[in-house]
Amino acid sequence: MTSIPTKKIDSYIKSIKPDFEEMLARMVEIPTISNDPNRRQDIERGADLAVEYLVSIGAKAEKVTTRGNPVVYGQIMAGKDDPTIAVYNHLDVQPALEPGWKQEPFKLQKIEGRYIGRGATDDKGPALSILLASRFAAENRIPVNIKFIWEFEEEIGSPHFEEFLLKKKKEIDADSILVSDTIWLSRGRPAISYAVRGLVGARVILKTGMQDAHSGLTGGAARNPLGEICQIISSCYDAKTGMVLIPGFYDDVRPYSKEEFASVLESGFDVKRFKRAHNLISMRTRDRAEAIKRIWFSPTFEPHGIVGGYSGDGIKTVVPPYAEAKISMRLVPDQDTRKIFRLFSGFVKKINPDCSIIREGMLDPYYCRPEGPYPDAAKRAVYLGFGREAAFVREGGSIGAVSKMQKHLGVPIILLGLSLPEHAYHGPNEYFDWGQASGGIRTFIRYLEEVSVIGA
Amino acid sequence: MTSIPTKKIDSYIKSIKPDFEEMLARMVEIPTISNDPNRRQDIERGADLAVEYLVSIGAKAEKVTTRGNPVVYGQIMAGKDDPTIAVYNHLDVQPALEPGWKQEPFKLQKIEGRYIGRGATDDKGPALSILLASRFAAENRIPVNIKFIWEFEEEIGSPHFEEFLLKKKKEIDADSILVSDTIWLSRGRPAISYAVRGLVGARVILKTGMQDAHSGLTGGAARNPLGEICQIISSCYDAKTGMVLIPGFYDDVRPYSKEEFASVLESGFDVKRFKRAHNLISMRTRDRAEAIKRIWFSPTFEPHGIVGGYSGDGIKTVVPPYAEAKISMRLVPDQDTRKIFRLFSGFVKKINPDCSIIREGMLDPYYCRPEGPYPDAAKRAVYLGFGREAAFVREGGSIGAVSKMQKHLGVPIILLGLSLPEHAYHGPNEYFDWGQASGGIRTFIRYLEEVSVIGA
């Protein structure tokens, strides 16, 4: 199904390497940190640069305003009867406060084919790879319309992305969607994700006093909100096994076939490499199948922090007046975020009626069968792009935009990421590299070529 | 047994009010904060002032050095065949970092008979009350030898007090000890404590990773040390009821008779007042007898803080690499601190072998039957001093020095405090007042008179 000579693509890629590097440097140098309200002007500058880049490759582009950050929307039209693909990336980034940074995070450093800086791999580098593949498609008249959707609120759970979709869904009118914001299992093993976990976040707050009380004078009679918060958490899940104990929690987990699991099991997931990549000292399991089930096929309950009481050196014998647990649950298809939040809060309230429970974000899980013309096309494109077979895998993290696009656009979504575990997603010294960028551009050119003939 | 005319005592007390106020002001103005290593020089200045005060009433006095802070030791000798009483107070104080302070904490303010400043009631005011009672005793030739023990490490658990006792026990050679560092139930109800809770502190640390992990990418397979710490705490005690679940924990709790409990029940303890005094919103019980059992007759388990993970606004979906619980247990007579620490750490290690457990201070509980010549004398002295019957009560807090003196000096100890619940022990705007000081001086004069004839 592909007709453009490999040589032509390769020489294009070689020629645009300096462009890629300069464009990425300019992008990384704008600190588009979405969780910091003081960065609102940087977000606008980042969006302006995105529009400039789209226009520079011949696209029509605009900043679409929402009640939150803008979404940059662009399009390159081939012909109105040609297939249409929407491509999604996000250009906002995490903060870069980690003490491990060895350089200024918002100044791109190029060292031995690595591009180091916050956002380089998540998700500015992949976004530029698609952009430069699209430039090639336009210049070589691949008959496909490309609609660019560049979000600036992905790192905060996409709170205004639906507003954008409702405004533009008619205009987008795509036959399929390509998302590049996921991570391979290892450099040698490309991965296409067909399922994404969702998320329900919450804070549980318990207030039993007005100030620190003396644990000698009051201890025994005074309630201890920290102890009660621990009891709530321990009632919600067994931290040793990870098993969630909230009644009904697992009811809607989508069953999977032996074949589906067997295929994912062949993805090349390696427990030792996983452990090393994430700096874990010990894990709940050392078994590969069990680990895969846990991160991709099972929902979780996770405390992220417990606030309240004394946190300095040594101990201080106070009975604290309040405590707060910061928790979240990752959900798998077909769990429903609202139902799970209802089950959770009902259960907690039953255990401890004095708590207040505050919802902190909800992202639906996503699932798409890894079969059919688009997954097949992606697989072929990856093979041509990287010379290796892609594995179909699930995604442990959550991408809020994916389930929202599924809901409002209702077309197949292919999750074809370029990031590697060692790229330090959300970590210090995040980087992207030319190997992944050049292979990515090659893959995306082939994929655009592929989708231009699907249904034709 | 008392012979000095009341009028004479009252006119003495009236005459020394300006002295008391000036002496207290000078004492409060030295910030003898024992938990701050930078205050070491202030501790020395405080000890020098204490020596000066003792010498000013005719005592021999010295700073006794230890590997920690000094202990000021003084004596006024009546005659070598006269009975000897040791009087204990501490002159170190808590920090004063509470946001609620309405004034400079280390500048004594006098407002309507109140003396406001850090340490005014805990324990500088009571120490001066005994000092001025002793001056009267010396001037009026009450035949009792008085040995002053002024500690500067009480607020940090008296880590070097035994060193002092071992140096000076032969010299002290007392027949009884008077400690003034406890709190009445209310202004109208003097209290003499005959039992004090002990303390075992600990930190439980669990490390399962080297840095924050992404709860999407790793959640389910990665261990969550915060969740496991919650599980440890919930296994150690039922936070709702306060019941400790560590096997053997209650084995050595001293049984008490109906009569003992009935007598304490008549102490005037009031649940509503207690709740208000300690700023509690809700308590584990509203029943008076049950509350008394909980704070005076029962040991506790208490988490004071849980460190690890995210503690900012909202939530952040990390799997933290480590967690630490700061906990303590208050012990009652006849629980043994070493045995309890052993039971606790064995139990925790069994639940979670990967934890480390660090001991953070141990104070033995103390018990002395509230009957016999010294308790009887104290009761009569309080009646003469304040015109009200004293109640014999237990103490929920811990005074490290008390059990150490019991061990090394082996004589009856009377805990005759002057502080009131509203004096804000360890809190903002701590104060002492002339009502308690003058009644206290009167009481102590009568008590010195009483003990001068015990065994004579």
* Mode of pairing for the β-strands spanning B322-331 and B114-116: unpaired
Does the structure show a pLDDT above 70 at A287?
yes
Site from A228, A230, A354, A423 to mutate, B interface, most B CB atoms within 10 angstroms? A230
Q: How far is CA A4 from CA A72, A83, A144, A258, B160, in A?
A: 30, 18, 14, 39, 85
**Closest B-chain CA to A426:** B214
The answer to whether the CB atoms of B311 and A316 lie below 8 A apart is no
As a whole number, mean pLDDT of residues A99-117 equals 95
Q: With the CA atoms of A420, A423, A426 and A430 taken in that order, what torsion angle do they form, in degrees rounded to the nearest 10?
A: -160
Angstroms from A379 CA to nearest CA on chain B: 23
For residues A359 and A341, is the Cβ–Cβ distance under 8 A? yes
- Nearest residue to A299 via CA among B209, B216, B309: B216
The end-to-end CA distance of chain B, in Å, is 12
* Intrachain domains A6-195+365-451 and A198-253+298-363 with the same fold: no
* Mode of pairing for the β-strands spanning B71-76 and B145-151: antiparallel
CA contacts within 13 A on the Cβ side of A435 = 12
Q: Which two tokens mark A219?
A: 């201890």
Note the pLDDT of residue A354. Answer: 98
- Which are the contacts of B248, defined by CB distance < 8 A and separation ≥ 6? B343
Q: Please name the member of A319, A397, A425 whose beta carbon is closest to the beta carbon of B302.
A: A319
Note the pLDDT of residue B1. Answer: 56
Angstroms from A208 CA to nearest CA on chain B: 5
Q: Please name the member of A239, A318, A425 whose beta carbon is closest to the beta carbon of B228.
A: A239
For residues A227 and B239, is the Cβ–Cβ distance under 8 A? yes
Spatial distance between the Cα atoms of A263 and B221, rounded to a whole number of angstroms: 20
Spatial distance between the Cα atoms of B183 and B425, rounded to a whole number of angstroms: 9
- Encode burial over A61-81: b for 16+ CB neighbours within 10 A, e otherwise: bbbbebebbbbbbbbbebeee
Angstroms from B325 CA to nearest CA on chain A: 9
Q: Please name the member of B214, B222, B330 whose beta carbon is closest to the beta carbon of A425.
A: B214
Which amino acid is it at B22?
E
Spatial distance between the Cα atoms of A64 and A70, rounded to a whole number of angstroms: 5
The answer to whether the CB atoms of A217 and B425 lie below 8 A apart is yes
Spatial distance between the Cα atoms of A233 and A157, rounded to a whole number of angstroms: 24
Report how many Cβ contacts below 8 Å link chain A to chain B.
295
For residues A274 and A286, is the Cβ–Cβ distance under 8 A? no
**Third-level CATH fold of B6-196+366-451:** Aminopeptidase (3.40.630)
Query: Which residue in the block uniquely carries the two structure tokens 């998700």?
Result: A123
Phi first, then psi, for residue B305 (nearest 5°) are -175, 150
Output A269 or A342, whichever has higher pLDDT.
A342
Q: Please name the member of A222, A234, A317 whose beta carbon is closest to the beta carbon of B230.
A: A234
Q: Which two tokens mark B127?
A: 């120490």
* Mode of pairing for the β-strands spanning A198-207 and A322-331: antiparallel
Domain A198-253+298-363 class, CATH top level: alpha beta
Range name among A140-149, A181-190, B227-236, B274-283 with the lowest pLDDT average: A181-190
Spatial distance between the Cα atoms of B293 and B265, rounded to a whole number of angstroms: 9
Does the structure show a pLDDT above 80 at A456?
no
The answer to whether the CB atoms of A395 and B201 lie below 8 A apart is no
The answer to whether the CB atoms of B317 and A300 lie below 8 A apart is no
Among 3.40.50.1110, 3.40.50.740, 1.10.730.10, 3.40.630.10, name the CATH number for the domain at A6-195+365-451.
3.40.630.10
* Mode of pairing for the β-strands spanning B191-196 and B213-214: unpaired
Q: Please name the member of A234, A295, A302 whose beta carbon is closest to the beta carbon of B231.
A: A234
* Mode of pairing for the β-strands spanning B366-367 and A109-111: unpaired
Site from B197, B278, B294 to mutate, A interface, most A CB atoms within 10 angstroms? B278
**DSSP bridge partners of A45:** none
Note the pLDDT of residue B456. Answer: 55
Spatial distance between the Cα atoms of A420 and A121, rounded to a whole number of angstroms: 8
What one-character-per-residue DSSP string does B354-398 give? T-EEEEEEEE--EE--S-SHHHHHHHHHHHHHHSSPPEEEEESS-
ipTM value of the model? 0.89
For the sheet containing B302-307, what is the strand order? B302-307, B322-331, B198-207, B356-363
Phi first, then psi, for residue B230 (nearest 5°) are -60, -40
For residues A222 and A319, is the Cβ–Cβ distance under 8 A? yes
Chain B residues with CB-CB distance to A426 below 8 A? 214
Note the pLDDT of residue A3. Answer: 85
Chain B residues with CB-CB distance to A239 below 8 A? 223-224, 227-228, 230-231
Q: Please name the member of B203, B219, B230 whose beta carbon is closest to the beta carbon of A315.
A: B203
* Mode of pairing for the β-strands spanning A176-179 and A413-416: parallel
Spatial distance between the Cα atoms of B54 and B70, rounded to a whole number of angstroms: 15
Average confidence score pLDDT of chain A? 95
Which amino acid is it at B177?
I
Q: By three-state DSSP, how is residue B325 classified?
A: strand
Does the structure show a pLDDT above 70 at A2?
no
Low-confidence ranges of chain B (pLDDT < 50): none
Measured from the Cβ of residue B41, the count of other Cβ atoms closer than 10 Å reads 9
Q: Which two tokens mark A60?
A: 């029509």
**Closest B-chain CA to A210:** B279
- Encode burial over A336-350: b for 16+ CB neighbours within 10 A, e otherwise: bbeebbebbbebbee
Phi first, then psi, for residue B183 (nearest 5°) are -125, 135
Q: Which two tokens mark B64?
A: 């006794």
- Which are the contacts of A108, defined by CB distance < 8 A and separation ≥ 6? A24, A25, A28, A29, A115, A116, A117, A120
Q: By three-state DSSP, how is residue A172 classified?
A: helix
* Mode of pairing for the β-strands spanning B391-395 and B191-196: parallel
**Closest B-chain CA to A399:** B216
Domain boundaries, chain A: 6-195+365-451, 198-253+298-363
Note the pLDDT of residue B23. Answer: 98
Angstroms from B366 CA to nearest CA on chain A: 14
Query: Which residue in the block uniquely carries the two structure tokens 């609102």?
Result: A40
For residues A126 and A89, is the Cβ–Cβ distance under 8 A? yes
Per-residue pLDDT reduced to its tens digit, B48-78: 999 999 999 999 999 999 999 999 999 999 9
As a whole number, mean pLDDT of residues A137-161 equals 96
Spatial distance between the Cα atoms of B435 and B422, rounded to a whole number of angstroms: 13
Per-residue pLDDT reduced to its tens digit, A370-396: 999 999 999 999 999 999 999 999 999
Q: How far is CA B311 from CA A7, B206, B317, in A?
A: 54, 18, 11
- Which are the contacts of A294, defined by CB distance < 8 A and separation ≥ 6? A242, A284, A285, A300, B220, B221
Chain A residues with CB-CB distance to B202 below 8 A? 315
- Nearest residue to A357 via CA among A365, A367, A366, A347: A347
Q: Please name the member of B223, B301, B360 whose beta carbon is closest to the beta carbon of A315.
A: B360
Q: How far is CA B251 from CA A220, B146, B244, B312, B368, in A?
A: 18, 40, 12, 42, 20
For residues B121 and B423, is the Cβ–Cβ distance under 8 A? yes
Per-residue pLDDT reduced to its tens digit, B197-252: 999 999 999 999 998 999 999 999 999 999 999 999 999 999 999 999 999 999 99
Chain A residues with CB-CB distance to B355 below 8 A? none
For residues A352 and A235, is the Cβ–Cβ distance under 8 A? no
Spatial distance between the Cα atoms of B131 and B22, rounded to a whole number of angstroms: 14
**Closest B-chain CA to A398:** B216
**Closest A-chain CA to B219:** A295
Per-residue pLDDT reduced to its tens digit, A288-333: 999 999 999 999 999 999 999 999 989 989 999 999 999 999 999 9
Predicted TM-score of the model (pTM): 0.89
Q: Which two tokens mark A29?
A: 């140098």
**Closest B-chain CA to A231:** B234
**DSSP bridge partners of A76:** A146
Site from A181, A223, A241 to mutate, B interface, most B CB atoms within 10 angstroms? A223
